[in-house]
Amino acid sequence: MTTGNGTSANVSCPSPMKATSDGVWQGENPLHYALPLAIVQICLVVVVTRGLTFLLRPLRQPRVIAEIIGGILLGPSALGRSKAFLNNVFPKQSLPVLETLANLGLVFFLFLVGLELDLRALRKTGRSALAIAAAGISLPFVLGIGTSFVLHSTVNTGVSEGTFLVFMGVALSITAFPVLARILAELKLLTTDVGRMAMSAAAVNDVAAWVLLALAIALSGNGSPLKTLWVLLCAVAFVTGASLVIRPLLAFVASRSPMGLPIKESYICATLIIVLAAAFATDAIGIHALFGAFVVGVLVPKDGPFASVLIEKLEDLVASLLLPLYFVSSGLKTDVTTISGKRSWLLLVLVIANACFGKILGTILSSLLARVPAREALALGFLMNTKGLVELIVLNIGLDRKVLNQQTFAILVLMALFTTFITTPLVIAVYKPARKTVPYKHRTIIRDNDIDTELRILACFHGSRNIPTLINLIESSRGTSRRPLTVYAMHLIEFSERSSAISIVHKARRNGLPFWRRSFFGGGDDEVEVAFEVYRQLSRVDIRPMTAISHLDTIHEDIITSAERKRAALIILPFYKVQRLDGRLESLGTSYHHINQQVLQYAPCSVGILVDRGLGGSAHVSASDVSYTMAVLFFGGPDDREALAYGTRMAEHPGISLTVLRFLPHLHDEDDEVALASIRSNAAGSFQEMAAKGSEQVAAAIKSAGRFNLLLVGRRATTTPMVERTDCPEMGPVGSYLVSSEFSTATSVLIIQRYDPKEDDAMKDEEQVHAVPNTPLTLASQVA
């Protein structure tokens, strides 16, 4: 074989690759050099795994499935069967570089996993979750031991039986905590009883798996039992020393990183050096470098912004580029063709059956003993059977330590792939938490006979830029003390495959969808929740922050579900366009547009679309300083009457001036006349009649009325369309004009659609039932 520098090398022992080439014009092949080859490998891995992720998305599979399959396809089981492909893209002399990059990514990924594991939450884990975790580990571990005897006597001969026994027990008893979190989020089960219990049990299982893995690695050494004992003692000493030395140091760094200020680069650098030093220490001990990184991640204080900044700095590079290399590295070692013959396939079936039977049966039995309903217990069993990255780590270490041979390794990789793949469809089949909600009376702002009853609003927002306008709108809506206002402020967060999604999951579980606990503000680690808490303390409004975490194409279901559960009379949604510095509105994307369209169609109450053009400025205005001018554009119809009712409530605020602009000619409607008569008799604001025919006259009349801070109008106003073309027809004939840049760049707009019970009955006839998480408050105190 000839290397890139022109020297000859023995095929069985190829010479090391040079780092870079001099280019193709010098007659050199870049694929014969380490750096350009590594670039090609990384690009190929990312393209293949992301392509498979896209293809598997309709099946609602987590990304780890695509990455495992991608690794197998690039290995000797598929594309690697072509010697030309394997020798050019993944030659043997490049594997040390590939595996070094993969393991470096693994080290930092395990650091991120440790960052997202809160030991305080484990200490609060309820007895039921502990029992489920214990049973979910014990029974499959025992079955794994039994399976190991069969494999040891057939395909995995010639290794230490005791070490192989432990490795098999660990391989069958693992539950992948990060993968489970993503599956639960995908199925919208994070905050259900099943989701809470599964996450708590999986967290305990995760910690137990690391302890068992450390034991397995120590036993896999080639030394005497005394050396194994020294490895374990050194591991205990490392954890103790890290707790006594590294933890106070990290706590000091975190304390010097206050909220709202940038984290010093030196602190980030020092932390990463500590991670690498800890990884080196554990590798020197003999229990793998990833343990040191994981321990440091666990020891980083979770309060304050420091941990979040570390995740933000590392996650994209590690999870998107480096970690997939580990799956490919595993795939290059996986040769499915070694599973040949009747005996090998029967052994594969045996391993899969024992893995599923032990995990599912152990979890179901312990769940039933904890008085979990049978269907939820079955769903828990399937969820706890999820495998993932930790499984591959166990198998790779076993292969590297010669505890597993190629055939056993391939069998166990396929077992991990199969058990994770079936989790989502099985849970969907056995557990459907959807149920019809209890009907409630007040679904609109207009109250015929109960004008002094509580008004409940579900106000949604995408990020911190929406908060000042939203709070100023809430302040304007609080009315009099006789008419209490409760606002559920829902932060809409897109669920992604990034590792920090698990941190968001923790927030959702503590913060609550659909429930919220005031103790969440104790940490003060989220500027969004802090802003609402400050406003709550300074006003009479009962405001309760919530979080909805979902893919953007289904997050409207969370909004609709929460509105039903909270018995909201009005949903306020942010417009899918945001204002730029030049005043023009820029779209956030079709997904956000889709959210508004779906909520308008299926909402169980009235809906308002808020076009934010800086109502009150960039900060919250105190009650004593509120001074807004608002106008209701009244063309007639139920939506305009709803907008008029909301404007009337706003006019009760002493700092708000309301103008009602009635446009003529106006078709006579008795309900409209009653609503307008009520405004006149209560003197809630000024009243003007505007004579206008056609879209041009209406537009001129609106502009001639003067400048206002906020305009309210019904979505289905009874007038002709005011713009010929629009990309948001759901805003209605007047709303489409008011959101255009030709109208104004300073006036915020609220387009309101009144709830129509007839449309709701029609949707029920079509069986449009949305998933409603059944999350009783009593369970929140039982599980973390």
pLDDT digits (tens, 9 = 90+) for 620-668: 666 666 778 889 998 888 999 999 989 888 888 888 888 888 888 666 6
Lowest-confidence segment of 144-158, 294-308, 677-691 by average pLDDT: 677-691
Write the pLDDT tens digit of every residue in 331-373: 888 988 888 888 999 999 999 999 999 999 999 999 998 888 8
Mean of pLDDT values over 264-280:
93
Cα–Cα nearest to 442, from 595, 568, 336, 553 = 568
**pLDDT band at residue 311 under the 50/70/90 scheme:** confident
Split at pLDDT 50, 70, 90, the class of 247 is very high
Residues 474, 479, 480, 486: is their CA dihedral positive or negative? negative
Least confident of 412-416, 485-489, 722-726, 741-745: 741-745
Q: Nearest to residue 142, comparing CAs of 172, 162, 163, 164? A: 172
Q: How is residue 158 written in tokens?
A: 């010639």
- Of the candidates 89, 163, 519, the one whose C-alpha atom is nearest the C-alpha of residue 332 is 89
Q: Got the DSSP string for 567-582?
A: T-SEEEEE-SEEE-TT
- Cα–Cα distance for residue pair 711/247, rounded to 1 Å: 55
Sign of CA dihedral 66, 68, 71, 75: negative
CB-CB contact of 662 with 676 (8 Å)? yes
Q: How many CB atoms lie within 10 A of CB 319?
A: 20
Q: Which of 239, 607, 652, 166 is nearest to 401 (CA)?
A: 166
Integer Rg of the chain from CA: 31
393 SS3 class: helix
Enter the tokens of residue 16: 């090391």
Of 576, 596, 622, whose CA–CA distance to 468 is shortest? 622
pLDDT for 449: 66
Other residues' Cβ atoms within 10 Å of the Cβ of residue 571: 27
Residue 692 and residue 684: Cα distance in Å, rounded? 24
Short-list 779, 68, 766, 781, CA closest to 413: 68
Helix (H) or strand (E) holding 548: strand 542-550
Phi, psi for residue 488 in degrees, rounded to 5: -105, 105
User: What is the number of alpha carbons within 13 Å of residue 563 lying toward its C-beta?
Assistant: 29
In the chain, the domains with their CATH numbers are 28-430 (1.20.1530.20), 449-612 (3.40.50.620), 627-768 (3.40.50.620)
Tokens linked to 152:
């040891």
Can you tell me whether residue 192 is helix, strand or coil? coil
d(CA 375, CA 369): 14
Q: What would the DSSP string read from start to end of 718-751?
A: SS--S-S--S-GGGHHHHHHHTSTTT-SS-EEEE
Type of residue found at 504:
I
Residue 451 has pLDDT above 70, yes or no: no
* Adjacent-strand bridge partners of 712: 632, 750
- At residue 767, does pLDDT exceed 70? no
- CA separation for the pair 253, 257 (Å, rounded): 7
Indicate the residue type of 650.
M
Strands (DSSP E) contained in 407-484 are 455-461
pLDDT at 46: 92
What is the percentage of the chain residues whose pLDDT exceeds 70?
A: 84
CA dist., res. 467 & res. 131, Å (int): 43
Q: What is the rounded distance in angstroms from the CA atom of residue 121 to the CA atom of residue 100? A: 34
- Nearest Cα to Cα of residue 752 among 554, 581, 611, 565: 611
Q: Which residue has the higher pLDDT, 231 or 529?
A: 231
Report residue 734 as tokens: 């007047």
Q: Among 628, 460, 623, which Cα is nearest to 536's?
A: 623
Q: What is the pLDDT of residue 1?
A: 45
Distant-in-sequence, close-in-space partners of 301: CB < 8 Å, separation ≥ 6: 250, 251, 254, 307
Q: What distances in angstroms separate CA 185 from CA 130, 138, 182, 315, one per listed residue?
A: 22, 27, 5, 19
CB atoms within 10 A of CB 241: 12
Q: Is the pLDDT of residue 521 over 80?
A: no
What is the bridge-based pairing of β-strands 748-753 and 606-611? antiparallel
First to last CA, the chain: 59
Token pair 């992604």: residue: 496
- pLDDT tens-digit profile of 182-216? 788 778 787 677 887 888 888 788 778 878 888 88
What are the structure tokens assigned to 155, written together?
Answer: 């395909």
Q: What pLDDT, on a 0 to 100 scale, did the predictor assign at position 293?
A: 92
- Mean pLDDT over 715-743 rounds to 83
CB 734 within 8 A of CB 635: yes
- Residue range 458-479, pLDDT digits in tens: 999 887 777 888 888 888 887 6
* pLDDT higher at 677 or 96: 96
Q: Among residues 159, 163, 158, 165, which one has the least CA distance to residue 144? A: 165
Q: Is 561 helix (H, G, I), strand (E, B) or coil?
A: helix
Report yes or no: 38 and 97 within 8 Å, Cβ to Cβ.
yes
d(CA 625, CA 518): 28
Report the distance separating Cα 519 and Cα 540, nearest Å. 19
pLDDT at position 410, please? 92
DSSP single-letter state for residue 620: P
Q: Is the pLDDT reported for residue 529 higher than 60?
A: yes
Q: Is 585 within 8 Å of 577 (Cβ atoms)? A: yes
Parallel, antiparallel or unpaired: strands 455-461 and 606-611: unpaired
Q: What DSSP designation does 246 have?
A: I
17-66: pLDDT as tens digits? 788 888 888 888 888 888 999 999 999 999 999 999 889 988 888 888 89
CA distance 630 to 628: 6
Contact 659, 708 (CB under 8 A): yes
> For residue 761, what pLDDT band results from cuts at 50, 70 and 90?
low
Tokens 């909520």: give the residue: 599
The stretch 312-329 carries a mean pLDDT of 87
**Pick from 6-20, 110-124, 171-185, 422-436: least confident:** 6-20
CA distance 178 to 183: 9
* CB 614 within 8 Å of CB 578: no
Instruction: List the single range of 132-136, 307-311, 519-523, 550-554 with lowest mean pLDDT.
Output: 519-523
Question: Alpha carbon 553 to chain centroid distance?
Answer: 13
**Residue 742, C-beta contacts closer than 8 angstroms, at least 6 positions apart:** none
Mean pLDDT of the chain: 81
- Give the amino acid at 157: T
Say how many residues make up the chain.
784
**Which tens digits make up the pLDDT trace of 76-109?**
988 888 888 988 899 988 888 999 999 999 999 8
Find out whether 562 and 489 touch, Cβ atoms under 8 Å.
no
What does residue 485 show for φ and ψ, rounded to 5 degrees? -125, 130
Tell me how far apart the alpha carbons of residues 505 and 496 are, in angstroms, rounded to a whole number: 11
pLDDT-based confidence at residue 491 (cuts at 50, 70, 90): confident
The DSSP output letter for 608 is E
Helix (H) or strand (E) holding 410: helix 406-421
